[in-house]
Structure formats: C-alpha cells, structure tokens
Amino acid sequence: MDYDLFVIGGGSGGVRCARIAAAHGARVAIAEERHWGGTCVNVGCVPKKLMVQAAEYAAWAADSHGFGWNTQPGQHDWAALMQAKDAEIKRLNGIYLKLLENSGVSWFFERATFLDPHTLQVGEQRITAEKIVIAVGGHPAWPEIEGAEFGIVSDQAFFLPEMPKRVTLVGGGYIGVEFAGIFRGLGAEIDLLYRQRLPLRGFDHDLRDALVDALQAQGVRLHPSVLLQRLEKLSDGSKRLHLTDGRTFDSDLVFFAVGRVPNTKNLGLEDAGVASTQIGAIRVDADNTTSQSHIFAIGDVSNKMNLTPVAIAEGHHLADRLFSAAPPRSWSFAAIPTAVFSVPPIATCGLSEEQAAASAPTDVYVASFTPMRHTLSGRHRRTMMKLLVDQASQRIVGAHMIGDDAAEMMQSIGVAMTAGATKADFDRTIGIHPTSAEEWVTLRTKTRTVGFK
C-alpha cells in the first residue's frame, strides 16, 4: 500500500486525524478539493462569528449613551468587513497547511474518490491505502421549490458583493437565527420564516421562547408555521417569495437556511462497499467504523453531532486507536457544550427539559433577569439561565442559557458536568459578584419538577 492512512477531506477533523496518525509513525496522506480547514474555517463558524461581532458595534454605540457617552454608530463599510474576513481566512488556511507539513503528512489539493475498498483516484493518480478515513463534511441544502436558484445558501452569504437592505431568511435553525442577528445588526430589515411554531427545533423550550422575545426586541419580523411555494425574480432585480397560504415577501435577498446534507455524492461509496443512509450520511458504529472494517467516517459526514469540536475529537480518538500503542484519550460525548451565536447568544450542555423528563424525574431551576449592563443601557435584553437536575442522583444533566457571554460561561459548565457535578457542588461554590455567571451557583429555588412519578 502507498500509505498506512489516507484521509479524504481537509477540514478540522480530517487534519487532526492525519496529524495525530503521523505523529504515531504512520505514513499518512490527505486530500482536499476546495479549501483547507473545511466549512468551519472558510464558510462557517469562523467567518460567521466575525460577522456577528461586526454587527454588535452599532448596538454598543447606542448602549453607550446610557453610560454618559454620545457615541454615534457611523456608517458601516461592508467591503472593508469582507476584506478583513478574507484576510483572516487566508491566514488560517496557511496555518492548516503548515500544520500538515510540519507533521510529515503528504497532502493533495485534489478531489479523491473510491475505485475499490483500498484504492482512490486522487486527481490524476491512483493511490492505495491500508486504512481510509472519510471526513468530507457536508454542504447547505436547497429547498425543492420553483425558482430556488434566485436565492442563496450560507456558502454564498460570506461573499456577497454588498450588504442587502431587505432580507428574507428561510429556516429557524441556528444558521437562520444567527444570520438574522448579523443582517439586522448591520441595519437590514429582516423577515425570518420557519416551519415550526418556534425557532431552534430540538433545543430546550424555555430557550426557544426566550429567543422569540430576543429576536422581536431587535425588530426581526417572525413568521412561524410557513410552507414555501415558489421564488421569483422581479424586473428590478428584487426577489418575491410565495408561500402556500398566498402571502408574499419582497426583498433584496432570499437566504435559504433549511439544513445541511453530507458531501457523499459521487464519492464512490458503492465501489468501496460503504453503506450510507437515504440522505447520504455514512453509517458508522460507536468507533466511527463503516460497513468496511478498514474505512472510517468522522465529522458531519456521519450526521451524528455536526459540530467542529466533535469532528476534531473523533479524528484524534480514531488516530490514537489505530496507530498508538497507548490507550486512546477518553472524550466525553455525553454532555457536549455548544452555542448558537444569535443576538444575544445561546449556549447549552446536556439534556433539554423534554429529554430529561422523558428519562427520569428532574428538578428544574430557572432564572430570568435583566443583566447589569442593560439596566443602564435601556436595551430590552433579558438573560435566562436554567439547570436540570436528576432528582435521584442530584447530578446536573442539563444547562441552558440565553444572554451575553453565554458561550464563554457554558464551556466551564461543560467541564463541571463532565466531571459529574451535582446541584450541591454548584450550591457550595462561591460566586463572582457582580456577574451574570454567579447566577449558576445561586439558583436555590426550584421552579418545578418534571418527569414520571
């Protein structure tokens, strides 16, 4: 075989897997056809968070008036933001390549596809490998409606030539609500449409309710329980979105954020004997092994937990398991802290109230308040914090927050939950005053108990 390990896909998970395997002495190669760093670095979490941060400054300028400043927002330069964002992404691309080169990994800026279970077509070359890792990620889905091509998906949102003034956003998932905050913060009129009664399907219901209040406070117009019919482009270049109930929405930009699909089309999975689901997600077991014992899949392509840190952890663990003499590092996938960079941000770890109630009697603690900053700014921005406690063991099984710095706080909560912290551990921890974070350790009054008797 040409290599001990070949990794298809140069995103965060694939690069980590390749580097760790090479550090263990394996002969490793990796192929990437589009951009090093994958979705997260190039058209996902990194540029999106930079845009979220850019959108916050107008609100901060207005909020400063409550503290005695007369700061004025000024005029936003969209082109300057895009130029700065592109420069940072280029820098990160270079870092990923340098990491591979320093690790002794051979890299190919080519598309790789399967010819048989051990052979890949990589550009013009045929390459064999003892073990193969599929880490090709996913891409945004398009709605199946007439005229969908007149809209955009998230990949294109990072390269718009100018800032749109009116945006129709379709989708109540994290991408939809995040870009609602971005465009609204930069001054656009926003209509956010989604199929469910509330945005962020699958999240805790208190978070979803609080997000509705936060979005409306920003001036985002919400339209729940809608179904799309068609999209047309008008003579002046604007777009008109038609719903099945007869309503229409006119805007400069229609942005579809209706989900993501694994990047497995034309990958040659059938030639390799690798089983996949109807939507193209690769079937894997708990160790990320596919239907072929020497082929593995990590990250979004398996559609298990589509988060960059999860892909990195899976890649690291897999490389250790395959090529290290020592036992692989243990990763905690039971309580994964994660965030939605809406305005204000959301962060969550562990079970939602609905999930907890379905498994065992659960004590629920909820606090909702106006954070200190906004008692002077006058901005309507509430913080909500919530702990879910298993009644029998008293372990924290869920933590949820919407409010400023939610993601920064939730990382530490994730450490506590991974360590098995109980409600008593939180109660005996001294808080930092005055902060919103101290509320985590001062939640004394039970809000309710849920779950079976």
Transcribe 358-400 into DSSP letters.
HHS-EEEEEEEE--HHHHHH-----EEEEEEEETTT-BEEEEE
**Selected catalytic residue, list 294, 380, 400, 433:** 433
Q: Could you give the C-alpha distances from 406 to 329, 360, 383, 418, in angstroms and in order?
A: 28, 27, 9, 18
Distance between CA atoms of 338 and 334, rounded to whole angstroms? 12
Q: Are 8 and 136 in contact (CB under 8 A)?
A: yes
Tokens 């340098």 belong to residue? 98
Tokens 């079937």 belong to residue? 283
> Taking the CB of residue 348, how many other CB atoms lie within 10 A of it?
27
Structure-token pair, residue 64: 């400063």
Structure-token pair, residue 358: 């379905």
In residues, how long is the chain?
Answer: 453
* Continuous segment of H or E residues that includes residue 441: none
Structure-token pair, residue 403: 């409010």
Query: Which residues 6+ apart lie within 8 Å of 319 measured at CB?
Result: 5, 16, 17, 18, 19, 20, 21, 24, 26
Distance between CA atoms of 45 and 253, rounded to whole angstroms? 21
% helix / strand / coil in the chain, to the nearest 5?
A: 35, 25, 40
Structure-token pair, residue 449: 């108990």
Q: Is 433 a catalytic residue?
A: yes
> Is 47 strand, coil or helix?
helix
Backbone φ, ψ for residue 110 (5° rounding): -145, 160
The catalytic residues are 433
